[in-house]
Amino acid sequence: MHRRITLFLGGAGLMTGFACTAPQEQGVQESATLEETIKPLYVTGTLDHDSDDPAIWVNPLDPAKSLIVGTDKDSLGALYVFDLQGNIIDSLVRRGIQRPNNVDIGYGLEVGGKKVDFAVTGERLTSKLRFFSLPDMTELHPGGIEVYVGETGPEYKDLMGVAVYQSPESGKTYVIAGRKNGPTDGSYLWQYEVKESGGQLALELVRKFGNYSGTKEIEAIAVDAELGYIYYSDEGVGVRKYFAEPEKGNEELALFATEGFAEDHEGISIYKSDATTGYILVSDQGANLFHVFPREGSAANPHEHSLIKKLALSTVSSDGSEVSSKSLGPDFPQGLFVAMSDDRTFQIYRWADLAQSIKHQQPTQ
């Protein structure tokens, strides 16, 4: 879900905060009001139409020169590229993409005898994936590659969510594609292996999986490649968890975040404190909050993700978000969190500011 809300920027160029409250989730102690709203360090330049989803490309040579790629979701849409201070890099913006919804980043994909990093976005009006090399934003397969081939009805081909999984086990690169509408029989998501054929990219469908409540839609998809899991938001219901490796099967491992959301479950981001621990952040779009869950689960069950904290950020009606735990220069020594805000911008936060507000505690029984 996405609603248009207009904000006014303060003299420093940052958005003013909002007092937010949210329904209390069972088993978590909360005061009547949330702590002070966390403010961004930077706000990006304004997009032409409709900001929706960001991704972070980490520059291996100079992390402080990493990039943020964000979608402008419109029939005359684009992929915008920003530096870490939120400045639009005009030479890297790619326009003429028909309603790009979500975007994700991959590294070291072999194309034409060399390895390239890439951004991939879903072009909703054509049901195609569009691939662009990084950091130069050259299109790797001009015009894109169609997904959901053979699916009946245009309502089942409305491409929305996109996530990249690069397997530590096999080295294969996959794209997981979600859509606005789909079957409720456990085949809502389609997972494709990205291959090379005659110097061009190609997609091979490897599985269909994933439950869907039929309540609203599925847009946000996130992958924890190190632990091997896929998470996605079944809006209005909760967050579903599956194995990322196709060979491990299609069993649903968890359905969590089922309580305490004001309206839609949206963007999912995974902060990796180390190899196995960290946080899963889920946007509570209707309440302007982000719910925080333990990445590692509980001591008894790695698939038990109980609420740790609700964070009030300055974003309004946030759809997509992304986070990196890598040190990205002096502004972001512990990493960076970026989230869409419904005023055609993305807000850029120091992870340290979020971490200060997160108290890793188990829910009361």
Q: What is the pLDDT of residues 93-125, one digit of tens each?
A: 999 999 999 999 999 999 988 999 999 999 999
The Cα angle at residue 223 between residues 219 and 228, in degrees rounded to 5: 140
Across the range 47-56, mean pLDDT stands at 97
Phi, psi of 357 (to 5 degrees): -95, -10
Least confident of 165-174, 209-218, 248-257, 329-338: 209-218
Least confident of 12-16, 44-48, 67-71, 244-248: 12-16
Q: How far apart are CA 5 and CA 163, in angstroms?
A: 27
Give the domains, in start order, of the chain with CATH numbers: 42-357 (2.120.10.30)
Q: What integer pLDDT is reported at residue 7 of this predicted model?
A: 37
Could you report the per-residue pLDDT of 325-338, keeping only the tens digit for each? 999 999 999 999 99
Select the highest-mean-pLDDT range: 60-74, 153-167, 196-210: 60-74
> Predicted confidence band at 217 (pLDDT cuts at 50, 70, 90)?
confident
List CB contacts of 24: < 8 A, sequence separation 6 or more. 30, 260
> Predicted confidence band at 34 (pLDDT cuts at 50, 70, 90)?
low
Q: How far apart are CA 164 and CA 169, in angstroms?
A: 15
Edge-to-edge strand list for the sheet holding 238-243: 218-224, 229-234, 238-243, 254-256
- Residue 1 scores a pLDDT above 60: no
Across the range 145-157, mean pLDDT stands at 87
Is the pTM here over 0.95, yes or no?
no
Edge-to-edge strand list for the sheet holding 100-111: 100-111, 114-123, 128-134, 145-146
Task: Tell me the percentage of the chain whose pLDDT exceeds 70.
Answer: 88
Q: What integer pLDDT is reported at residue 35 of this predicted model?
A: 64
21 against 271, higher pLDDT: 271
